[in-house]
Amino acid sequence: MPLRAFAEAAITNVFTLTGDFSYSENSEADGDAGQTLTRLLYITFFQRLLSGGIDANQVTIELDYVWTSDDGKNIAICESEKMLVTAGWGTTTIIVTRGYHSTTKSSHADTTPFRRCYKALANEATVKAVDIEGTDQAG
């Protein structure tokens, strides 16, 4: 299962693609001096597509492929709206709570990406950056 980390809730700026350094931020830390940065990460497990558009109040949603089992990580993001999947595991028809975490309910077009994700807080996950390219600089 591919795991992707994103820098913001809209999950458009992925920064875990091998060899892709197109996303960057202005903050820097000098790891040699022991500096660290703390960031919220948005982690996605997989992506489905909407099979038919939905209006802002629709709670029954058709997907292009089966939504996997209920493992407690049932937050989905569709564009900027978060939804909580409450039923329909193992099927292509799911039931959701719209506007989850105070996001705005909105309409979404057919084939819009529908991503299963959760927010990894600083105390819930550790990301270790490893430089595997070039010469060893460890000294």
Q: What is 46-111 written as a DSSP string?
A: EEEEBSS-B-TT--EEEBSS------S--EEEETTEEEEEEE-TTSSEEEEESSGGGPPP--B-TT
Judged against a pLDDT cut of 90, whether residue 88 lies above it is answered with yes
Would you place residue 125 in the very low, low, confident or very high pLDDT band (cuts 50, 70, 90)? Answer: low
Q: pLDDT tens across 39-82, in order?
A: 555 666 678 899 999 999 999 999 999 988 776 768 888 988 88
Percentage of the residues of the chain whose pLDDT score is greater than 70 = 50
Highest mean pLDDT among 8-12, 80-84, 116-120: 80-84
The pLDDT assigned to 117 comes to 75
